Amino acid sequence: MNLKFGTDGIRGPVENKITPEACLRIGHATGLVMKELGWDTVVIGKDTRISGYMLESALQAGFIASGVDVNLLGPLPTPGVAYLTKTLRNKFGVVISASHNNFLDNGIKIFNEDGEKISRDIEKKIEKNIAKNLTPVETSKIGKAYRFDESGPRYIEFCKSTVPPDISFSSLRIVIDCANGACYKVSPEIFQELGAEVIKIGTEPDGYNINQNCGSTNPEVVQEAVINNRADYGISLDGDGDRVILVDKEGNILDGDDLLYILAFANPNRTGSWSGVVGTLMSNLGLEDGIQKLGYKFIRADVGDKYVTEMLTKKGWMLGGEASGHIICKDLVSTGDGTIAALKVISSLLMLEKSPQEILSNYTKIPQINKAVSVNNKDIVNDKDLKALIKAIESDMTVGRILVRPSGTESKIRIMVEAPEKQVAEKFASDIEKIIRSKL
């Protein structure tokens, strides 16, 4: 079975990749590896996809067959599972989710005892075990399953605790789009309990409508609602709640780069563990320049919040993120958390008594064009003609960047081009897209 970890777990179509058999094998293989490490208990959460019921049962059976005890959390944001993995002192955690993908896909994300994505070394051991025969442990040693009903309230209280006690949201009207996903219940309650008037979108999941014309990949939905309702902020989360896009009262869309800059600007201490910020290969050149002008060091990690977290740990720093909306506030959480990021950004703006645009006027993004081409074989990124074109374009550019890479979460090739002039970036991106399509 072609079950390999990408940038964010194992992900793919339910009909032919993330099947019940696949999840049974993933659970069993993961359980065997975790037991070798001395970990014998797992918490399992999921988003709202219709396939989650089926895959949860299969995954649970795989873990039990390996002798691992299971605690079922039910629907809960990915960062909520990471938080409970750590605080409940279970040895590892699993989320059944395909994040921002539609309901046809699903996936498996795995956290270690610290609530961080597992290392590549552990992933390789699991991949190796998946191919082995599925043989249960002896009957006297099989695992047990329990249901933990307090997962939502625990996560809500944790999120509220991250807001300073002297900060009140009572003057705010906030639109929140939960993408009909895992945040549909907990995130609106968090902002309501902090005093905000909340206008809800995407909080009626039916198993099929997760991320459908809503959520962080469709921020124009919240943008329109903010303007029509004269709201102060709009919050657009994705299906599993680990990324966020914000909208200000004027209707300006703030991506992950903007949110990262606001948090860096608001932080008064820029020494020690706060001396650097981690972005990714996709982070805008303008963000890098702006962060450095604030007095920070800036380092790029590979694409994926897992790699941002690993770099933060390596450097001993606290703040990092991606343009897509994964923001890691490592002083508070162990992984990307859209709700926590939104709380921290809005709290920071209230403390500073500044609007987002007042702060963002201090840095200027370079025009960046992003495209995605659906492919059957992602090895096309190694095509000699494509490489020759990229090399020729790069030799033409005095300022800017080109990044062509296989998606770690979908069957797509992603194209990113930055240039001082938007039309130039658009032309180069189109040229690259054309040559990729000609190879299909």
Contacts 24+ apart (CB under 8 A), 110-113: 110/9, 110/30, 111/81, 111/82, 111/85, 111/334, 111/335, 112/85, 113/39, 113/85, 113/86, 113/89
Q: Quick check: is 51 catalytic?
A: no
d(CA 134, CA 119): 24
Quick one: CA torsion of 68, 69, 73, 75, rounded to 10 degrees? 30
Do 214 and 201 contact (CB within 8 A), yes or no? yes
Contacts 24+ apart (CB under 8 A), 288-294: 289/363, 290/261, 290/362, 290/363, 290/364, 291/260, 291/261, 291/264, 291/363, 293/362, 293/363, 294/264, 294/265, 294/270
d(CA 33, CA 112): 12
Question: Residue 435 to residues 229, 237, 387, 396, 432: CA-CA distances in angstroms?
Answer: 45, 34, 10, 18, 5
Q: Choosing from 99, 151, 236, 407, which is the catalytic residue?
A: 99
Do 214 and 202 contact (CB within 8 A), yes or no? yes
| Burial class, 66, CB count within 10 angstroms (exposed 0-12 / middle 13-18 / buried 19+) | buried
Active site residues: 99
